[in-house]
Structure 1
């Protein structure tokens, strides 16, 4: 059991709390214009920009690169969804060639996670696979500026990076306060051009973050206030962001909800949905947010009776007019989440993705073993055995 999970159990069992947030956050419309001031104040000379082809094609990268006119920079734009160890290594080579003194990650969770992984290995040597776990490396990672363009992962403020080891079909997590970005520029204007599909998958992922943090065994007052506020912000704005993507207020609420949920789960970890979703991405290439969106109602049902009072409060955060007893409200939370997911066209099952049933079922034992390795299982509100995870994989097909 890793150190962070032991701390999480202590929080849950004894009411102790350690609040971790090491990232300086610059928030608001137009915040992206502060890239140049960070560079000037810190006397940066060489910059590696890590992003993906979609960000380059959208033109969003052009809000960043003109601010680098007084420094030498390299643009690495080869990050894929569920980024691999190989991609980290390629970006690391560019980092070394340039002798970078600042890394900037621009995009969704994938580019920012790659930027974080490169920052870790650049100052510690070896490979990112050497550092799986929490606080497994000695040196502070290289200075990193994270600029999110989606409202979902919260990677810009979290102390984790998740990278796919394709040789093992395994998503590894590297964590600790030294992983976190030094700065995050969080500008809702950068999310206005997100297409509906990405709005849905990243938005539902942020909602999973909020719900899993709120119900985590490691939750405490600070994290619960943040998580419940995130549930309200996201559930109240995701439909409008999906169907009316140029609505700045909806985009602001979504990005704030994503950020707030991330600040919460950075201190609590998550739960079974994230533990089970990572193998789905590693084995079948399912987008992280879609995997979480399919899992969320099923995991809520699995966990509900372990803390019904919390699920009742989730219901009230989604719909302040909800009626009934505490238990009726708790069950209503599952219904409300299912309706939201359906409205933004999140698939309801793995079968809808066209994945062969026989291949899927053959992979379940290995996926379940990998899921059980996650520290998220240990803070899930309901104690979970290998057999439970196998049943949950079958339930979502």
Structure 2
């Protein structure tokens, strides 16, 4: 099988990388960026810091700072209206996955027009305006992927849009921006990364380039997420999670996500559950369901996080992984949908629709065990409580 590999042309990784934005713009021959960020980045001063860096370099720019969690077509259109007020040649995204996903959508719509639904997978995505991503959470890996997820405001469908046009040309990965992340955000984004690494490794589209990156991602998160949650200013743990997040993004963007993400998006769209948390709600039960289809691969994941010996039988090792995932979710207080407060009747009523949307995303077809509608509905029913 021939693997198509996609990576940002420029990756700067390490403490203080965010300050190199003027030199990155110069290297890319770009001169008038449009900043895309969110109210939290504005309130905590990071957007002002970035703005001052550009001012000192005598670079003019525009700003849109109203990105919303789980970006919608309405919020993307607001960003597009801001873009149209100036003659910009590139976009800088500062924030978590929501800001970067908004910026990705903007880059394509600003150049090619149309509606976001026109770029929903598997539709092709032409190259948009150049995008430079500066992630501020250690989780989505969006700074290194060719994917964006935008909720259709009208239908409430969380649309997976995938294509080369969404890949940032550069990413500045600076773990110092994550030192202020609160406990819940730290846990949820790290669990998102863990799913990225594990899904990329067990996916039917896995390849030799992705495999070691995915295993490194899994190992780092398992070793450091507890420390980072307990000690928010632990620079070693924060740096490890930030690197793992980028590795996870590279891994799934060059392999694929599987059933976890396919089923997670509808939960997030209908019930406004944070993305990493909705992944974690599903992760253990879907792993249990999928182990028979890739036992040796799940066993490798168990060995990567240190819960199984090299010589241990694959079937035993794979279920040790499941035990450890359950333990991690317990330690990080991952709720079930019921514990999160989702109404049972509404949830049950939406199960067929959520299952249909999960299948339509295409992600379940990459799973080690390919489910049908009824199998997905059963998993939704199981994880509720």
Bucket of the pairwise TM-score, normalised by the shorter protein: over 0.9
Match of 1:185 among 172, 185, 188: 172
Q: Does 1:109 align with 2:109?
A: no
Residue equivalent to 1:63: 49
Q: Does 1:335 align with 2:323?
A: yes
Q: Does 1:37 align with 2:23?
A: yes
Residue equivalent to 1:86: 74
CA distance in 2, matches of 1:228, 1:327: 18
Q: How does 1:267-346 map to 2 (within 5 A)?
A: 267-319=254-306, 322=309, 324-346=312-334
Q: How does 1:1-397 map to 2 (within 5 A)?
A: 15-69=1-55, 70-134=58-122, 136-138=124-126, 140-319=127-306, 322=309, 324-347=312-335, 349-397=336-384
Say if 1:372 and 1:386, in contact at 8 Å, map to a contact too: yes
Q: CA deviation at 1:238?
A: 0.5
Question: Over residues 48-102 of structure 1, what are the superposed CA-to-partner deviations in whole Å (9 max), with x where a residue is unaligned?
Answer: 1111111112222233111221232222111111110000000011111112112
Q: How many residues align?
A: 381
CA distance in 2, matches of 1:215, 1:321: 17
Say if 1:278 and 1:371, in contact at 8 Å, map to a contact too: yes
Q: CA deviation at 1:325?
A: 2.7
TM-score (norm 2): 0.96
The RMSD of aligned alpha carbons is 1.4
CA distance in 1, matches of 2:60, 2:117: 30
Question: Over residues 161-201 of structure 1, what are the superposed CA-to-partner deviations in whole Å (9 max), with x where a residue is unaligned?
Answer: 11000211101122211210111000111111111110001
Residue equivalent to 1:8: none
70-79 vs 114-123, which deviates more?
A: 70-79
Q: CA deviation at 1:45?
A: 3.7
Are residues 315 and 183 of structure 1, via their aligned partners in 2, closer, same or farther at CA, if it must alter by over 3 Å? same
Say if 2:302 and 2:308, in contact at 8 Å, map to a contact too: no
CA distance in 1, matches of 2:162, 2:147: 4
CA distance in 1, matches of 2:162, 2:207: 20
Say if 1:279 and 1:367, in contact at 8 Å, map to a contact too: yes
CA distance in 2, matches of 1:163, 1:356: 24
Q: Secondary structure at the match of 1:269?
A: coil
Say if 2:38 and 2:67, in contact at 8 Å, map to a contact too: yes
CA distance in 1, matches of 2:69, 2:184: 14
Q: Secondary structure at the match of 1:384?
A: coil
CA distance in 2, matches of 1:16, 1:73: 41
Give 4+ residue runs of structure 1 displaced > 6 Å after superposition.
none
Say if 2:125 and 2:166, in contact at 8 Å, map to a contact too: no
Say if 2:308 and 2:317, in contact at 8 Å, map to a contact too: no
CA distance in 1, matches of 2:115, 2:362: 22
Structure 2 residue runs without a partner (length 5+)? none
